Structure 1
Amino acid sequence: MSVALTSSPAPTSTRQEPLRVMVVDDSVVIRGLISRWIGSEPDMVVAASLRTGLDAVNQIERVNPDVAVLDIEMPDLDGISALPLLLAKKRNLIIIMASTLTRRNAEISFRALSLGASDYIPKPESTREASAADTFHHDLIQKIRSLGAKVRRRPPATSSPALDRAREPLTRPMPSPVAQPPLMRRAFSIHAPRVLLIGSSTGGPQALMALVTELGPVIDRFPVLITQHMPPTFTTILAEHLARSSHRPAHEAVDGEIVKAGRIYLAPGGRHMRVVRHGADAAIALDDGPAVNFCKPAVDPLFTSAIDVWQGGVLALVLTGMGSDGMRGGKEIVAAGGSVIAQDEASSVVWGMPGAAANAGICAAVLPLNQIAPKLVRVFAGDRS
């Protein structure tokens, strides 16, 4: 789960219109709370505060929001039913699903991502608990700001929304940004990779499920360890989805288990996943310590711990996500003789984590999502170009 204790800086330009946010929740307390938070941000404004999904569908054209925070359980029309109707009326709408941490809501949130939602956020069971409310507050504002920044760069739809959405892949890649100076690339390691490590956050579940469908030749011969910023229950569901998508064993990692080729290990929500030496083998070590990079699980602990086990035989992949988690660990992997690949900006939902790695000059490749799996297959087969 990503826990942002400090929000991203607000835009400094006074000419840019504030993000218009539509809040849809049947709880008057939650609606009021979120509306107050948004209203206190200089670069956001509450476009509407609505009780049901039906209200949102009926009013979206009048309200014209950039971002919608959409509850799952509501009367008249629930969030999952309202989602496609909202996107049919405004295909570029950013939708953040909000739900409490139950298995049913986690399943619905995953379904919402496949239907075009941009992200999800877990709501605290009670807003009276200060730490839970603070986490929800800061995480929500960061998601709105980061995802909203990208929607500003999208061109307006010029053809049928229904046809355009039918053509969109799961990850909803964005148009290429304005050309920037070329990023520094490093050569791939001369060492043969012995493990694949993956770090991801916002947009990660969609990217991971698309990626593992093509990684069979790598998974069969090497272990794959993944840290996705995600709360408990959600990681349980994600592991099940990864197993179905890859047709390979995938599960939440268990403390002390031996790491083996042919399996996908996912950091469980709320615990850091590291690896340690266990004789001639590697073993999982779960850590209930403090958040790292405001996240728990975090990517850096996995990346840095792998160096002691596999030295220069580490290949790390940084996928879409907010923040910079994975960049410091990636630097250490490269310094130890390993390699790092990052997802490119155009195919990322948020180019925070992969952008940090790419801009640090530690990547051997920065690739669109659909080119990453083929490249990994070639690298693990011996291609070092």
Structure 2
Amino acid sequence: MDKKIKVLVVEDSPIMRKLITDILKNDPEIEVIDTAKTGKEAVEKAKILKPDVITLDIEMPEMDGITALKILRKEVPQTKIIMFSSLTQEGAKITIECLTLGAYDFVPKPSSKSFWESIKKIEQDLIPKIKSVTPLEKIKSIYRPSYVVSEIKKGIYKACGIGVSTGGPQTLLKIIPELSPNFPAPILIVQHMPPLFTKQLAERLDSISRIRVKEAEEGEIVRDGIVYIAPGDYHMRVKKENAFVKIKLHQGPPRNFCRPSVDELFESLAEVYNGKTLVLVLTGMGSDGKEGAKKIKEKGGVVLAQDAESSVVFGMPKAVIEEGLADEVINLFKIPERLKELFGVK
């Protein structure tokens, strides 16, 4: 077994601090090396201990989570920071800001009044995210950098689909604001997030982009030059109705433990747009998007996968690449220009 993942738990509530610590200590692959009650204490301990992961509460006395995050990103840039967020509109807004500032991921604070349900919820949400941390040096030593697998036609695509999970907000911030409002196709995105958070993400991207970004709505007509983000807890599909393509939302069973699911979106894009679909599978845990990418390829469409070096978590792109579905493996920072080129943007 590789060495244990070292975690610093930062939480001002003694009850929550002990709860998180005890849950993590029960996992043989994780070591809680210390705890902190304030953001200031977290910064001081992180500089000395150099943890692999910090769990950081957003609302704390003396120094709030956002301020602590900014300092920690400078002082211990290799440490992954997972935020604990409240399930409120304001909590979602602050969390999106944290993710755009470089937080690794977030975990919603349990809203259940049941102690045991709270424990189960934290175990389900937090432990997989901690275990998904892989040192960049290890990734670079195993996987090739960006490369082209097959020749890709240009200027023929009628829709662009994007699937993304852990690391998504900061990744999308590098892509969407670089696109022009005359982008000649709709862009449909599945980002694994709960309700409230997807709306805040859409509003954040819209505020800094020239292209319009919005949370998708049931039944709306899909139009070129607009970015649609699937709402949390709803699968998003597209469907041809007469002369129009429309958004269809539903709450069918989760796929790959996800709702919204990338597979749901990609499969519907393949049905509607056939070979004139181009999709990107970006950073994220798991393999959501792999089955959908198969459908895209069966219909003659194109699949791009983010490379290991620029992925926060090389799970979803890796699944697509290893299945032989990627036409191109591409670095994040090359994606905006590549999209312009492939979609024929002047």
Whether the TM-score (by the shorter chain) exceeds 0.5 is yes
- Matching residue of 1:224: 187
Does structure 1 conserve the Cα–Cα contact (< 8 Å) formed by 2:290 and 2:319? Answer: yes
Greater Cα offset, 48-57 or 323-332: 48-57
Matched, 1:92 2:78: yes
For 1:264 and 1:180, the matched residues in 2 are separated by: 31
Q: Which residue of 2 aligns with 1:176?
A: 140
Q: Which residue identity lines up with residue 192 of structure 1 in the other structure? A: I
Q: SS at 1:142's partner residue?
A: helix
Tell me the equivalent position of 2:176.
212
Structure 1 residue 96 displacement after superposition = 0.7
Structure 2: distance between partners of 1:48 and 1:326:
37
Q: Which runs of 5+ in 1 are unaligned?
A: 1-12, 155-174
Give the equivalent residue in structure 2 for 1:113.
Answer: 99
Residue 274 of structure 1 and its aligned partner are, at CA, apart by 0.7
> Residue type matched to 2:178 in 1?
E
* Alignment partner of 2:44 out of 58, 70, 87: 58
After superposition, the Cα gap between the structure-2 partners of 1:183 and 1:324, relative to the gap in structure 1 and judged at 3 Å, is farther
SS, match of residue 250 in structure 1: strand
CA RMSD of aligned residues (A): 2.4
- Aligned residue runs from structure 1 range 44-193, under 5 A: 44-126=30-112, 128=114, 133-147=119-133, 149-150=134-135, 153=137, 176-178=140-142, 185-188=149-152, 192-193=156-157
1:199 to 143, 163, 172: 163
Distance 2:241 2:143 in 1: 47
The one-character-per-residue Cα deviations of 1:288-328 (angstroms, maximum 9, x if unpaired) are 12211001111000000112211111111111111111011
Q: Which residue of 2 aligns with 1:236?
A: 199
1:362 aligns with 2:292: no
CA contact (8 A) 2:218 2:248 kept: yes
Cα distance between partner residues in 1 of 2:49 and 2:204: 36
Q: CA distance change for structure 1 residues 349 and 127 in 2, over 3 Å: closer, same or farther?
A: farther
Instruction: Provide, for residues 333-355 of structure 1, a one-character-per-residue CA deviation record: whole Å limited to 9, x for no partner.
Output: 10111110011110010010111
Distance 2:183 2:145 in 1: 38
- For residue 5 of structure 1, what is the aligned residue in structure 2? none
Once the two structures are superposed, the pairs formed by residues 272-287 of structure 1 within 5 Å of their partners are 272-287=235-250
The C-alpha deviation readout for 1:169-209, integer Å capped at 9, x for no partner, is xxxxxx83345599892443689211000010011111112
Contact 1:357/1:363, CA 8 A, preserved across alignment: yes
CA contact (8 A) 1:183 1:358 kept: no
**What runs of 5+ residues in structure 2 fail to find an aligned partner?**
none
Which residue is 2:208 aligned to?
Answer: 245
Question: Which range moves more in the overlay, 197-206 or 46-55?
Answer: 46-55
Distance in 1, matches of 2:310 and 2:82, equals: 19
User: In structure 1, how many angstroms separate the alpha carbons of the residues matched to 2:210 and 2:30?
Assistant: 43
Q: What percent of counterpart residues are identical?
A: 42
Report the counterpart of residue 312 of structure 2 in structure 1: 349
Q: CA deviation at 1:224?
A: 0.8
Task: Tell me the TM-score normalised to structure 1 length.
Answer: 0.84
How many angstroms does 1:125 deviate by?
1.7
Structure 1 contact 199–228 (Cα < 8 Å) conserved: yes
1:313 aligns with 2:276: yes
Q: Residue 114 of structure 1 contacts residue 206 of structure 1 at CA under 8 Å; is this kept in 2?
A: yes
Runs (4+) off by over 6 Å: 181-184
Say if 1:127 and 1:133 are closer, same or farther in 2 by CA, change over 3 A: farther
TM-score normalized by structure 2? 0.92
